[in-house]
Amino acid sequence: MAKRIKYPVGIQTFSEIISEDYLYVDKTGLIFDLVNSSKYVFLSRPRRFGKSLLMSTIAAYFRGEKDLFSGLQIEDLETEWKAYPVFRFDLSPATYVDTSRLNYRIKGCLNSIAEDYSLSVEGPNNPEIFTNLIKQAYLKYGEKIVILIDEYDKPMLDCLHESELHEKLKAEIRGFFSVIKSCDEYIKFAMLTGITKFGKVSVFSGINNLRDISMLPQYNGICGITETEFHRNFQDSIINFAETNSISCDESWNIFKVMYDGYHFSDSKEFIYNPFSVLNAFNDGRISSYWYQSGSPNYLIKLIEKNSYKLDNLEGAKRTEIELNDIANIDHDIVPLLYQSGYLTIKKISPGFGFANISKEYVLGFPNNEVNSAFWESLAKRFFRGADGNSAFNLKKCVSDVIEGRPEDFMLSMKSLFADTHSETEKNKEIHFQNMMAIVCKMLGLAVHTEVHSAVGRCDLQIITHDFVYIFEFKINGTAEEAIEQIYEKGYAVPFEADPRTVFLIGANFLTITRTLGNWIIKKFK
């Protein structure tokens, strides 16, 4: 008989998880190490990855709530269990369309703190009130203050595509949190979490010795579920899942690994499972795209629509640690933001050189099937839509046309699909068109190669199936004749001369005025 397990789906309060006997993956050993080795800490992790639960656990520890930690790792490590005033700020609930929304949210957090500790709200503005609350609490309780700031970057993410508002919100946050530096003598510990790092330097530049643990190997698993934790904590869950779905336990392990594992935040060799998806899947007894369904990445979509990023070269992209930690160049490079947001992760590390090995490069890719599918589906919904938001595009037929060697039918489907596209604002129409083709190919689930190098040029696109090879060249506001001629002149098909498969050469023209495919020419190479 299946064992009854309570999964803390949507529960981010440590005390509730423990007191109500929900399943808890013990992170308290790492927490003890962290809070006793640092004073100011910064952590970046994707959304729905356990940051709020981590902050709730740290808050309970600093409040001295010893009974909640019975049987956990920290019970054998902590001996004093002193209680400190804990000031918590969570900036995630609101939608920030102007600075007044931000000030209102912060004021609400300050009022809650004052009420919790019976302090008076004094001061003409939020920074002054914050300062006074810290000093009051220190004098009243005789202990230094713990400050926990969750999702600090939510206001700036909401307007990432609006530069002027983004800078105004950043300035407001910088002014408010500068209080932490001025009140250093009254502070025991401070930690800030968020998705992105664009504010780490500019927003918190006033905080001395802010320790960024986001890419430190020892804290790789401080959020999420490591492979070891997954096998230690979810054995009964796997048995239940296997019984529910009439499959073996080995098949169940593999399904979860392919769908939800694969995150890597440091040089550590251990990959991380997405906790939100894992808990939901076990709770429901089925596999689904839980992380994606919990909130679409609107800020990413808006940036992609605004800027001419190339999206067909994300898998295998290489960046240094410095580049991954910096999104100041966001108008030209979206890869660091995709990494910090959880859409790309570290797949491999190329060693560098020198004393600190600082030149090593991180090779990135999509962490698992859930994220890969979710990313391209999100883009498809925004790139391909008619006036009514719908499209008559038949994905199944399109796949069949390619697999069964019907290039003319495939191109007709493409023309219909591009006619539905919403692309009035793209800056670079050629890159926009290439991105749309990349999205289509990802939707089709085919082996696709873009900008394939030859001795004398680069082929725009290749689609390779078991029986057929398709070689594409596209012209923007040119002619199909020019495109097909370039395939021959540049020898794009030469590598397939001895290939037994049928090779189709397709030269096509994309019209920016009508935003769709114009004419095309299809020829067999052999």
Q: What is the pLDDT along the chain (526 residues), one digit of tens a residue?
A: 467 899 999 999 999 999 999 999 999 999 999 999 999 999 999 999 999 999 999 999 999 999 999 999 999 999 999 999 999 999 988 888 889 999 999 999 999 999 999 999 999 999 999 999 999 999 999 999 999 999 999 998 888 878 889 889 988 888 888 899 899 999 999 999 999 886 555 666 656 678 999 999 999 999 999 999 999 999 999 999 999 999 999 999 999 999 999 999 998 888 999 999 999 999 999 999 999 888 766 778 778 877 778 887 888 999 998 888 877 788 889 999 999 999 999 999 877 655 555 568 899 999 999 999 888 888 877 776 643 445 556 777 888 999 999 999 999 988 887 776 655 555 566 677 777 777 877 777 776 676 666 555 678 888 889 999 999 998 888 999 999 999 999 999 999 999 999 999 999 998 877 777 889 999 999 7
Torsion over CA: 428, 429, 430, 434 (sign):
positive
Burial of 64 (0-12, 13-18, 19+ CB in 10 A): middle
Q: Write the Ramachandran bin of 261: left for phi over 0, alpha for psi from -120 to 50, otherwise beta.
A: beta
Tokens describing residue 36:
């006793």
Report d(CA 178, CA 509) in Å as an integer. 55
- Find where tokens 């530096």 sit: 181
N-term to C-term CA, the chain: 62
3-state secondary structure at position 27: coil
Report d(CA 314, CA 295) in Å as an integer. 22
Which is nearest to 492 in space by CA: 465, 472, 522?
472
Tokens describing residue 253:
């392990």
The answer to whether 184 and 208 are in contact (CB under 8 A) is yes
- Find where tokens 């004052």 sit: 114
**Long-range contacts of the stretch 349-355 (C-beta < 8 A, 24+):** 349/267, 350/318, 352/320
| Bridge partners for 505 per DSSP | 471, 523
Report d(CA 59, CA 36) in Å as an integer. 14
DSSP string, 260-300: H--B--SS-S--EE-HHHHHHHHHHTS---HHHHT---HHH
Can you give the residue ranges of every domain in the chain? 26-219, 225-293, 298-371, 384-524
Give the helix ranges, DSSP H, for 273-391. 275-284, 290-293, 298-306, 321-324, 335-341, 369-383
Measured CA to CA in angstroms, residue 73 lies from 16, 55, 270 at distances of 18, 17, 20
Would you say the CATH fold of 384-524 matches that of 26-219? no
Cα 116 to its chain centre, rounded Å, is: 34
Report d(CA 234, CA 282) in Å as an integer. 9
pLDDT the model gives residue 388: 41
* Cα angle 322-297-152, degrees, rounded to a multiple of 5: 60
Q: Write the Ramachandran bin of 193: left for phi over 0, alpha for psi from -120 to 50, otherwise beta.
A: beta
Report d(CA 222, CA 54) in Å as an integer. 8
pLDDT the model gives residue 321: 87
**How many other β-carbons are positioned within 10 Å of the β-carbon of residue 331?**
13
| Bridge partners for 469 per DSSP | 464, 503
Residue type, 170: K
Report d(CA 424, CA 514) in Å as an integer. 10
Sequence-distant (≥ 6) Cβ neighbours of residue 359 within 8 angstroms:
320, 352, 353
Q: How many residues does the chain have?
A: 526
Torsion of CA 267, 271, 277, 283, to 10 degrees: -140
Kindly report the backbone phi and psi dihedral angles of residue 366, in degrees, each rounded to the nearest multiple of 5, phi listed first: -70, 135
User: Hey, what CATH topology would domain 26-219 get?
Assistant: Rossmann fold (3.40.50)
Statement: 384-524 belongs to CATH 3.40.1350 = yes
The edge-to-edge listing of strands for the beta sheet with 145-150 is 86-90, 145-150, 187-194, 40-44, 211-212
| Bridge partners for 89 per DSSP | 149
